[in-house]
Amino acid sequence: MSEHIVPVRIYITIFLVLLTGTALTVLAAFYDFPWQFNTIVALTIATVKATFVVLYFMHVRYSSRLVWVVIASALFWMAILFALTFGDYNTRRLDHTRTSGVVILR
Amino acid sequence: MSSEATTAEVHGHRALQHHFANMEQQREAGTLGMWVFLVTELMFFGGMFLAYTLYRSMYPAAFASASNHLDIKLGTLNTVVLIMSSFTMAMAVYFTQMGRQRRQVICLVLTLLLGLTFLGVKGVEYYDKYEDRLIPGHLIPGRSFDPEVQKEGEPPDHHKLHLLPGATKDNVEMFYWIYFAMTGMHALHMIIGAGLLTFLLIFSLRGRFDPEYHSPVEVIGLYWHFVDIIWIFLFPLLYLLGRHFEHG
């Protein structure tokens, strides 16, 4: 059997890391960081947590290269979704003066 | 018959399908297939994350006001519950790999119970939103979106919507459309996951899985962890985005 079995001690470590990350992100949310750093801190912690889940709980660290390619392509297509959409929105003039919730594209 | 004996010798395991060379190839194909499915799931949720990002960038004050109305204690509780369920799911896979059937069943039961706890807490939160008339549009007949707004100088009331400068009720409604779409879709995935866990539990009790064959446990585990990951992002984006504007 060539399947890699992740030892229990690693599962427990990841579990504790995830709980710590949750505590950190809640504490950080009440602290007023300059500029957009509240969002950046929150998303960084979430990404770290997600990475640990993917690598260890989902065994990707020990999976075949093919699985890595599939995940990389998912992230690449997500990047396309966001980059092209916001490239479009950010190069149009948006009129936010109307607060009815209607955005006028010109 | 002699031909059947030969088949058993070559294939080895009762669960091996004839189109795979051996159990390892079958397992890897299953895992890869599940990952491809999870990619489509990520694209599906990606559209909603995009909508969230776009509307939040348009109405930052309204989104912060609306987010602050969510119950951060219940949100944190649910995050911890879901992380615990991911851990017990990972342990269920581990005990299956080790051939410890009793512990595998215990871990699956714990995962299922934690998943149902999450849904219960979510239900409490949804009911609070119903009470405060925060269900957007006319989704609830005769009880359209119409929260009470906290006015200057009034005693603080956590049932009322506290609008930050620049926020309007209309734009807060946009947040709640996105909130219910995203958490609702997430909850639907949890319900499906709970169904899949029940299926696993039944087959596990019948002793269907062993160290050689446990793809269903592994693959449903991947699904369960994926749903956990979606929540790992939903929690800070929906519950925590405006907390630093609350001073005292």
CA-CA distance, B80 to B67, in Å (whole number)?
A: 19
pLDDT at B194: 97
Indicate the range of A95-104, B84-93, B128-137 predicted with least confidence. A95-104
Half-sphere exposure of A13 (CA within 13 A, CB side): 8
A15: nearest CA in chain B? B87
Mean per-residue pLDDT, B176-182: 96
Q: Is the dihedral of CA B11, A63, B42, A89 positive or negative?
A: negative
DSSP structure class, residue A61: G
Q: Determine contact, residues B229/A50, Cβ cutoff 8 Å.
A: yes
Q: Assign A55 to helix, strand or coil.
A: helix
Nearest CB among B28, B72, B83 relative to A19 is that of B83
CA-CA distance, B58 to A105, in Å (whole number)?
A: 13
Whether residues B243 and A2 touch (CB distance < 8 A) is answered with no
Q: Determine contact, residues B210/B169, Cβ cutoff 8 Å.
A: no
Q: Is the pLDDT of residue B82 over 70?
A: yes
Indicate the range of A50-54, B127-131, B143-147, B203-207 predicted with least confidence. B143-147
pLDDT digits (tens, 9 = 90+) for B53-72: 999 999 999 999 999 999 99
Mean per-residue pLDDT, B23-38: 91
The superfamily in CATH containing domain B25-54+72-135+173-241 is Cytochrome c oxidase, subunit III, four-helix bundle (1.20.120.80)
Show the tokens assigned to B162: 């506290």
Domain positions in chain B are 25-54+72-135+173-241
Mean per-residue pLDDT, B106-119: 97
How distant is the Cα of A34 from the closest Cα of chain B, in angstroms?
Answer: 11
pLDDT tier for residue B244 given thresholds of 50, 70 and 90: confident
Whether residues A53 and B50 touch (CB distance < 8 A) is answered with no
Whether residues A89 and B47 touch (CB distance < 8 A) is answered with no
Q: Determine contact, residues B67/B176, Cβ cutoff 8 Å.
A: no
Mean per-residue pLDDT, B210-230: 94
Whether residues A5 and B98 touch (CB distance < 8 A) is answered with yes
pLDDT tier for residue B95 given thresholds of 50, 70 and 90: very high
pLDDT tier for residue B2 given thresholds of 50, 70 and 90: very low
Whether residues B32 and A67 touch (CB distance < 8 A) is answered with yes
N-to-C CA span, chain B = 81
Return the residue matching tokens 């929690």.
B235
Whether residues B87 and A15 touch (CB distance < 8 A) is answered with yes
Cβ-based contacts under 8 A for chains A and B? 135
A12: nearest CA in chain B? B87
Q: Determine contact, residues A19/A39, Cβ cutoff 8 Å.
A: no
How distant is the Cα of A106 from the closest Cα of chain B, in angstroms?
Answer: 16
Instruction: Identify all chain A residues contacting B13, using CB atoms and an 8 Å cutoff.
Output: none
Half-sphere exposure of B112 (CA within 13 A, CB side): 15
Show the tokens assigned to B89: 């799911």
CA-CA distance, B245 to B192, in Å (whole number)?
A: 37
Q: Is the pLDDT of residue B112 over 90?
A: yes
Q: Whose CA is closest to B75, among B245, B234, B228, B190?
A: B234
